[in-house]
Structure 1
Amino acid sequence: MRPRRRKKMIRLETQYFNLNRILLLAVGLWPYQQSNFTRLQFIFLSTILTTSLIFQCTPFISQKCTPDLVVKVLSSASIFAFIVIIYNMFCVNIEAMKDLLEQLQHIYNEVKDKNEFAIINAYGYSAKRCTAAFTILGVCSIFAIIVAIFWSNICSNMLSKNVTQSRRLPIMMEYFIDQDKYFYLILIHICVAACIGTIVMVAIGAMLIAYFQYTCGMFKISSHRIKHAISINTLGNIQSKKIILILKGIISAVNIHRQAIKLSELLVSKIEKMLFCLIIVGVVCLSLNLFRIASHGDDTKEILFPFIFTTISILYMFVANYIAQDITDHNGDLFATVYDVQWHLAPLHIQKLILFLLQKGTKEFTINIDGLFVGSLECFATLVKTSVSYFTVMYSTQ
């Protein structure tokens, strides 16, 4: 007899999370490698980001507080507050992230059907493509930010070599030192903080998207199992063996559906406070930067960074709500599949089980944040509309 072939074990973090691993290692947040060095790395990077945020708020101490000063300071400080929040809160929940990866690995190991392998692989490669796209976007953003920071000073030096001009920082900050003497050191600090912040946003955002992509894959597998189980009825007469196969198929579909919901709720519960803070900060950031763009529309230098911050805020809110909407749609697709299959050909007791599934499908599964925000494209539209409303109020009372 030939020895039975064993299923080849594939580690998800090496097969599909390799780029995520590199990005998170760069900022000291990869869950499987938490050594003393990575802790020191996190402290160092967190210090750079936090000091950058603090020095953006210090103008409130050194200057007279006016509405214009508040808008200038908070329009840039809010985006750095956004980054500091996600960086520190992700670190706090790093053990939970590791546990989620291990649960995904366990579910992947339980998959045996080749069609289910194909579904997992499709969603795994989709997550890899999303991570690659965000990485390319992040690299382009870093390049654009560095050029934007140094561009005005380069132009000033080229156009007026013999004229002494006061140097201006790209964003309002106060270091309580001689700004002209240490100007380029300050610029380097801003550049480093901006580059670290960009990597942090890309790394954490791409990792969360990958988690939810696999959750969508689990919903898809559940739909496949339901369809396969009920299709057994069309193969001929209903026999006891077929009934057992149908029941096993329905049970396995319900099990992986429950696992998908459990993983989604567990992930959301761990990052719920982070998401709530990001929603508030994102709306404030978008409103203030829209106001700055409208107020300085004829000055390219003044609107350059507000435009970048506005783009980042809108993009992040859209992607987060799009992923949440995608999970809701995948859950709805499962019950649409249950409704579409030929369940009326099944035995009566199986039809009753399917009716229970259809009744459960009347309650929509959503990503809920503190009972106040439900992740969806409608929520994205609401957040943008709210930001525009605040901007309109500020601009009308200018």
Structure 2
Amino acid sequence: MTYLETQYFGFNRILLLALGLWPYEQSIFVRLQLILLYSILISFIIFQFTAFVTLKCSVQIVIEICSNAFFFIICILKYNAFSFNLNTVKHLLELLQHIHDELRDKDEVAIIENYWIIANRVNGILALLGLLACSSPLCLPYIVDTIYFTNESQSSPSLHITTEYFIDKERYSFFIRLHSNAAIFISLTALIAPGTMNIMYFIHVCGMFKIASYRIEQAMAKVNLETNKTKGRNMVHIGIIYAVDMHRKAMHMIQLLMSALNMSIFIFFMTAVISASLNLFRIFQEITSGCNIKKLILPSLFLTVIYVYLLLANIMAQQITDHNNDVFVTAYSVQWYEAPVHIQKLILFLLQRGTKHYYVILGGLFVACLEGFGTLITSSVSYFTFIYSTNRI
């Protein structure tokens, strides 16, 4: 794993090491690090729900607490899904290295490396957005106080996260803020690190589909029955076999990844939709009731992070579907009719497999694609409408 780790996975390695999730570094110290980060996240969620003990429950309080807590729950779900599947992550990394080592054609190497470059650029953009998201809860309260409360004493601007630690909040305010800020930073990192790693996997699979298409084109380009009939047939036959083998390996990788994360991602999506609905309601309520700018920071941040994450996940799944379809479009578009009969039978076999589109399906119910993203947005808006209508009764 030395070559790929240094050349293309350095950024992913740093992020996963920060969370104790890099599969090649699992020492006792890393285990303790994992326990510490889990403890910070879980305790912060618990201290949010303990607010129900001391506060008088109302619909407003319930929505405010749940909208915040559910965001941290989806972060810990993502963290948990990755930490419990480190063997699968390691196996996939080894498969990537093995597939790269098998490539001999310089054009095929150029194709897969081009896809890795694209993946690193996407991850770089996500890292910048993640840094901005992590710094927003820390900086925006001070900026808002500077702009709107210049004549008031605001010694410790804070985020509006309702918690109950059962201690003196004024005396231990520094430690409370430290705990909340650490939980936000860990949560956002827990979304970005596994997410960027999954992007590397998905885009690499797209590159493998592209190589399969390239091999079909190159194989059919070698059809030359007039000059060397036997040799031409053999080269075409071998080329088609290599193309089918690459397609099979790509399908195996995506199925291996989805089988490990399938149910956890499905639960993540459903929880994210609920969290988005609650935060959408909070934003709408604040805007209609006077627009306290500081109270808009967190729900706006959480809603944006959720929608961007869901969008990227569905775009990646859509790319898998499109690249898989391109393999069969290529098989249909080449001059297969000029090939020998037994080669035509191989092409026909490919075309028959292409009659049924492949989709990334989560939990056996949800189809991940751009249309699926629209469904998720519609669902979150529908739940928001329901909460708003029932709250007015």
Same fold, TM-score > 0.5, yes or no: yes
Q: Does 1:319 align with 2:306?
A: no
Equivalent residues in 2 for 1:186-225, closer than 5 Å? 186-225=176-215
Aligned residue in 2 for 1:19: 11
**Partner SS, residue 242 of structure 1:** helix
**Aligned to 1:347, which of 335, 340, 351?**
340
Which residue of 2 is the match for residue 4 of structure 1? none
Aligned: 1:378 with 2:351: no
Query: Which residue, out of 304, 309, 312, partners 2:302?
Result: 309
Match in the other structure for 1:274: 264
C-alpha change, 1:51 and 1:154, in structure 2 (3 Å) is: farther
- Decide which of 143, 152, 159 is 2:151's aligned counterpart: 159
Structure 1 position 126, deviation (Å)? 1.1
Structure 1 residues 144, 238: closer, same or farther in 2, change over 3 A?
same
> Quick one: which of 39, 46, 52 aligns to 2:38?
46
Q: Which whole-Å deviations, capped at 9, do the CAs of 1:66-108 have from their partners, x for residues lacking one?
A: 2111110111111100111111221110111001100111111
**Matched residues in 1 for 2:185 and 2:330: separation?**
45
Gaps in structure 2 of 5+ consecutive residues:
none
Q: Given the superposition, is the C-alpha separation of residues 192 and 28 from structure 1 closer, same or farther in structure 2, using an over 3 Å criterion?
A: same
CA spacing shift, 1:174–1:156, aligned 2, 3 Å: farther
- The count of aligned residue pairs is 388
Matches of 2:28 and 2:90 in 1, distance apart? 18
1:67 is aligned to 2:59: yes
Distance 1:168 1:147, change over 3 A: closer
Q: Which amino acid letter does the alignment assign opposite residue 318 of structure 1?
A: L
Range that drifts further, 218-227 or 82-91: 82-91
- Write the letter of the residue equivalent to 1:252: Y
The whole-number CA distance in structure 2 between the counterparts of 1:132 and 1:200 is: 16
- For each residue in 1:271-292, what CA deviation from the matched residue of structure 2 results, as whole angstroms up to 9, or x when unmatched? 1122011111110011001111
Q: Which residues of 2 match residues 61-140 of structure 1 at below 5 A?
A: 61-140=53-132
Q: Which moves more between the two structures, 313-322 or 82-91? A: 82-91
1:20 and 1:203 in contact (8 A); partners too: yes
Q: Distance in 2 between matches of 1:214 and 1:232?
A: 27
Give ranges in structure 1 of 5+ residues lacking alignment: 1-8
Q: Which residue of 2 aligns with 1:293?
A: 283
| Residue 382 of structure 1: how far off its partner (Å) | 0.2
Which deviates further from its counterpart, 170-179 or 319-328?
170-179
Aligned to 1:3: none
Contact 1:149 1:170 (C-alpha < 8 Å) held by counterparts: no
> Shift of the alpha carbon at 1:294?
0.9
TM-score if structure 1 supplies the norm length? 0.93
State the 1:167 CA deviation. Answer: 8.0
Q: Deviations over 1:248-284 (max 9, x none)?
A: 0000100110110011001001111220111111100
Please point out which of 35, 52, 58 is paired with 2:50: 58
Aligned to 2:223, what secondary structure does the other structure show? Answer: helix
> Is 1:37 aligned to 2:25, yes or no?
no
Find the aligned partners of 1:72 and 1:133 in 2 and give their Cα distance: 31
Q: Deviations over 1:335-354 (max 9, x none)?
A: 01001111111011111111
* 1:301-339 Cα shifts (integer Å, max 9, x gaps): 222211111101100100000000000000000001001
SS in 1 for 2:56: coil
